[in-house]
């Protein structure tokens, strides 16, 4: 049930209560200004004004949140069109493009179609980290679920090898998040070497630490935006 419906039901309930008092009031021969009904009518009138004000405020906040979410999703789509898609085209059309992929990423030693596919995919993974920070406040899946997914990906040696040359393409907060994920991933890898396997509880301990860092970083970003 929405906030507006709760307010409406409250006002209907007050109206019914008013009619009950009107029927029960034994002082109908008194001046109206002195009656319980008059005082309740004044209270009900004030309540109606408050109801309208709260409804308008709630609708404005809802529209603002919807607008923010639409802008965030639009930004993610633009990034996909202007950044992710061209890199996958470099990979899929590698043979036709000659030396262009290597020239566009001179620090990555791209010498084959496989190299370019790895770069394109790594870029998309790092962009997912950044995009999740953008939509975090609207996500209903749960932070720990996503961090568990990201922690699996971050154990890739290829991603960790490519990251130092690609990190310049991302926001400082994304850089901090990604490097925290890599540090946590290496912790998991070390546990696997030591224990032979990593348990669910081992993962959860690491994920909880990441969640605290993530929420703190998002909080800092929100305070800086105020």
Please give the chain's pLDDT, 226 residues, in tens.
555 566 566 667 666 666 665 555 555 555 555 555 566 666 666 666 666 666 666 666 666 655 666 666 677 788 788 889 999 999 999 999 999 999 999 999 999 999 999 999 999 999 999 989 888 877 778 899 999 999 999 999 999 999 999 999 999 989 999 999 999 999 999 999 999 999 999 999 999 999 998 888 776 665 555 5
Cβ within 8 Å of residue 59, ≥6 positions away? 4
| Contact between residue 72 and residue 134 where contact means Cβ atoms under 8 Å apart | yes
Which pLDDT value is given to residue 83?
84
Distance of CA 103 to the CA centre of its chain: 36
pLDDT tens digits, 35-64? 555 666 666 666 666 666 666 666 666 666
DSSP string, 28-64: TTS-GGGSHHHHHHHHHHHHHHHHHHHHHHHHHHHHH
> How high is the pLDDT of residue 178?
96
* Cβ-based neighbour number of residue 86 at 10 Å: 12
Count CB-CB contacts under 10 A for residue 56.
11
Residue 89 structure tokens: 């085209």
């Amino acid at each position: 049930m929405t906030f507006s419906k709760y307010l409406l039901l409250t006002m209907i309930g007050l109206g019914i209560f008013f009619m009950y008092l009107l029927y029960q009031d034994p002082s109908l021969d008194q001046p109206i200004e002195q009656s319980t009904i008059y005082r309740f009518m004044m209270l009900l009138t004030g309540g109606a004004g408050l109801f309208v004000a709260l409804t308008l405020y709630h609708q404005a906040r809802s529209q603002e949140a919807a607008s923010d979410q639409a802008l965030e999703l639009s930004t993610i789509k633009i990034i996909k069109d202007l950044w992710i898609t061209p890199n996958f085209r470099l990979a899929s059309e590698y043979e036709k493009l000659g030396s262009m992929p290597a020239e566009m990423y001179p620090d990555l030693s791209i010498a084959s179609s496989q190299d370019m596919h790895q770069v394109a995919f790594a870029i998309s993974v790092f962009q997912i980290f950044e995009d999740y920070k953008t939509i975090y406040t609207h996500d209903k899946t749960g932070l720990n679920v996503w961090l568990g997914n990201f922690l699996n990906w971050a154990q890739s040696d290829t991603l960790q090898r490519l990251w130092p040359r690609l990190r310049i393409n991302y926001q400082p907060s994304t850089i901090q998040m990604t490097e925290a994920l890599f540090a946590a991933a290496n912790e998991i890898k070390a546990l696997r070497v030591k224990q032979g396997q990593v348990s669910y509880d081992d993962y959860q301990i690491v994920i909880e630490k990441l969640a605290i860092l993530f929420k703190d970083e998002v909080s800092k970003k929100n305070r800086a935006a105020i």
